[in-house]
């Protein structure tokens, strides 16, 4: 199957209708959209007021993104983070509800944050920022190497995910 398909995708790989806001599928679609923009990693990038509210690739590319702005962007675009200004990784340690989600977990600590997706019919993926890979990317689980270790991270989830 198509490794970038979501449950809402057709058999031909077309994205189909937008996923419901607040759903895992909406977060997967947002993560894939951000990954496809090819934005570079830049510490502190896209933390200015309103920047995670834009879907304009040129604006985001001009700013770059770091782990917390890219995580905030995905969550905002999926309807799970109301602010249009990114939070830092420490702030994301208290986002949503405590503990792991069934299909989606935000892993945060004082220095890094990333999203794990483990979705039936899709597979095990991560939305992570890895300098060697150039910036925020939707990756097959483990493709970021040591960046997928959950040791020392606080698991958080959006209700129902």
- pLDDT, tens digit (0-9, with 9 covering 90-100), for 81-112: 999 999 999 999 999 999 999 999 999 999 99
Round to whole Å and give the CA distance between 82 and 48.
Answer: 15
Quick one: average pLDDT of 117-137? 86
CA distances from 84 to 12, 14, 46, 76, 91 (A): 33, 28, 10, 7, 14
pLDDT (0 to 100) of residue 74: 97
Q: Output phi, psi for 98, to 5 deg.
A: -70, 145
Token pair, residue 131, equals 């300098």
| pTM flag (> 0.95) | no
* Side-chain-side CA neighbours of residue 12 (13 Å): 2
36-88 pLDDT, tens digit each: 999 999 999 999 999 999 999 999 999 999 999 999 999 999 999 999 999 99
Q: For residue 88, which of 105, 107, 64, 113 has the smallest C-alpha distance?
A: 113
pLDDT band at 132 (very low <50, low <70, confident <90, very high): low
Round to whole Å and give the CA distance between 25 and 7.
Answer: 7
User: Going along the chain, which residue ranges are E strands?
Assistant: 97-98, 104-108, 113-119, 123-130, 135-140, 154-157
State the chain's mean pLDDT as an integer: 87
């Amino acid at each position: 199957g198509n490794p970038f398909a979501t449950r809402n995708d057709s058999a031909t790989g077309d994205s189909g209708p937008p996923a419901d806001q607040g759903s895992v599928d909406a977060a997967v679609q947002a993560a894939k959209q951000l990954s496809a923009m090819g934005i570079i990693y830049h510490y502190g990038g896209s933390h200015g007021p309103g920047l995670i509210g834009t879907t304009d690739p040129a604006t985001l590319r001009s700013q770059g993104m770091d782990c917390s702005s890219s995580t905030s962007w995905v969550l905002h675009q999926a309807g799970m983070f109301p602010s249009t200004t990114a939070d830092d990784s420490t702030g994301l340690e208290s986002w949503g509800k405590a503990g792991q989600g069934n299909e989606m977990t935000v892993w945060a600590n004082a220095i890094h944050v990333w999203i794990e997706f483990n979705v039936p019919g899709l597979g095990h993926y991560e939305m992570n920022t890895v300098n060697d890979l150039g910036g925020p990317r939707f990756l097959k689980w483990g493709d970021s190497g040591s960046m997928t270790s959950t040791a020392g991270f606080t698991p958080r989830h959006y209700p129902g995910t």
